[in-house]
Amino acid sequence: MIIAPKVKDFLCLTAHPEGCKKNVSNQIAYVRSKGEIPGQAKKVLVIGCSTGYGLASRIVAAFGCHADTIGIMFEKPAKGKRTATPGWYNTAAFEKFAKEENLYAKTINGDAFSQEVKDQTIEMIRKDFGKVDLVIYSLAAPRRTAPDEVTYRSVLKTTGEEFTNKNLNLKDNTVGTKTIPAATKEEIHDTVKVMGGEDWKLWMEALSKADVLEENTVTVAYSYIGSELTYPIYFEGTIGAAKKDLHKTAQEITEEMKEKGVHAYISVNKGLVTQASAAIPIVPLYMAILYKVMKEKKVHEGCIEQIDRLFLQKQLLDQPEVDEHGWIRLDDLELSKDVQTEVKRRWELVDTDNIKELGDIEGYWEDFYHMFGFGEEGVDYEADVDPVVSISSMEG
């Protein structure tokens, strides 16, 4: 069939297999162009491996470190006229490219929060790897069924007082205002349950108990802090409460597993258009302005540039460069004084009439479409394509 984008609010309901493949191959080419990554990551587990920062991490591990990878994701294959989710197509392409490079790559599609998937992963590590030496935790999920069998749902709200600010209406690219309600205590608690550190720690404890962690294993989880402009909805909001819990968890894991030399890091990344971030109100307007400012200053990066820098420049695998909190700062360029001063100046001025001039609306939408495999150069979108694509490690 011919697959075209079907956009609904901040989601695209279709994905293009050839476009997703192109996106993955572009990321691989970038990693290759930056050269080999020193350090010892040879057997890597990526939890949340199929899109955004997790996909970029798997690509850097495989094509920068020549690591074998096991990935965990929650994606849907194609069914009838419904295309697969982009993460499905990305993973099919990733495995194909990894195989061509003689790299092991297997993927488990299931709920990473569940004990079953943890057990299945441990079994796969035991059988195929023996042990892992790097664990990347890159989940972004709206809900989690925890070991107490309660399903917690995360909300994107502020804490304290309700908050009103400018907002980009993604339906028609107009700038209006949006009021974000304050969360209840229960909503904050539930968001921390979903996006905080509890599940990361459960993963690390399960891997440690099963004795499938090498000595000195590195584990990293991704966080975001962002600009003061978005503090009320992000860092001081419900999701920020979850991130603060994640930060605390890094210290707990390192402390708990110090005899084995396991070190848990937080990498604070740049704000980027991904399926997870497009859903957060106010943030897309900030991103559109940020993209424009960072592109003008020639310091803009996407997921792959960020993660390659995490390994190469920040030396994730070998005593990484950290700040006073012990966090790796990939948001250094985003939060630099000159970028933030300019973003804040434009934020005051921005409205529907000048958004195209002050913000990078085109860049925002370009990234958005790329996530679903659309708008890729060299892909024939008029051609008939089969939406059913299999992932080689899941066949049979």
Distance CA 282, CA 236 (A): 14
**60, 330 contact by CB (below 8 A):** no
Distance CA 82, CA 79 (A): 5
**307, 313 contact by CB (below 8 A):** no
- Phi, psi values for residue 363, rounded to 5°: -65, -35
Which of 51/69 has CB closer to ligand NAD?
51
Distance CA 278, CA 273 (A): 6
Can you tell me which of 97, 163, 222, 364 binds ligand NAD, judged by CB under 6 A? 222
Number of residues engaging ligand NAD in binding (CB under 6 A)? 29
Interface with ligand NAD, residue 111, by CB under 6 A: yes
Interface with ligand NAD, residue 75, by CB under 6 A: yes
Can you tell me which of 19, 54, 197, 320 binds ligand NAD, judged by CB under 6 A? 54
Decide if 265 is catalytic.
no
**91, 50 contact by CB (below 8 A):** yes
Interface with ligand NAD, residue 276, by CB under 6 A: yes
Can you tell me which of 70, 220, 272, 358 binds ligand NAD, judged by CB under 6 A? 272
Interface with ligand NAD, residue 152, by CB under 6 A: no
Which of 158/306 has CB closer to ligand NAD?
306
- Give the active site residue among 234, 286, 291, 364: 234
Look up residue 352 and give its two tokens.
Answer: 């529907």
Can you tell me which of 19, 48, 281, 387 binds ligand NAD, judged by CB under 6 A? 48
Q: Which stretch binds ligand NAD (CB under 6 A): 165-173, 179-187, 267-275, 379-387?
A: 267-275
At residue 87's C-alpha, the angle toward residues 85 and 92, to 5°, is: 105
- Give the Å distances, CA to CA, from 40 to 53, 135, 221, 315: 20, 12, 18, 11
* Closest C-alpha among 314, 228, 310, 306 to residue 273: 306
Per DSSP bridges, beta strands 151-153 and 143-145 are antiparallel
User: Would you call 167 helix, strand, or coil by DSSP?
Assistant: strand
Which of 166/243 has CB closer to ligand NAD?
243
Can you tell me which of 30, 53, 89, 374 binds ligand NAD, judged by CB under 6 A? 53
Question: Taking the complex as a whole, how short is the minimal distance between the CB of residue 49 and ligand NAD, in angstroms?
Answer: 6
- DSSP string covering 268-300: EPPP---TTGGGSSSHHHHHHHHHHHHHHTT--
Question: Taking the complex as a whole, how short is the minimal distance between the CB of residue 9 and ligand NAD, in angstroms?
Answer: 15
Can you tell me which of 113, 234, 291, 372 binds ligand NAD, judged by CB under 6 A? 113
Q: Which stretch binds ligand NAD (CB under 6 A): 23-31, 249-257, 273-281, 351-359?
A: 273-281
Residues that bind ligand NAD (CB under 6 A): 48-54, 72-75, 87, 111-113, 138-141, 222-224, 269, 271-272, 274-277
* Residues acting as catalytic residues: 234
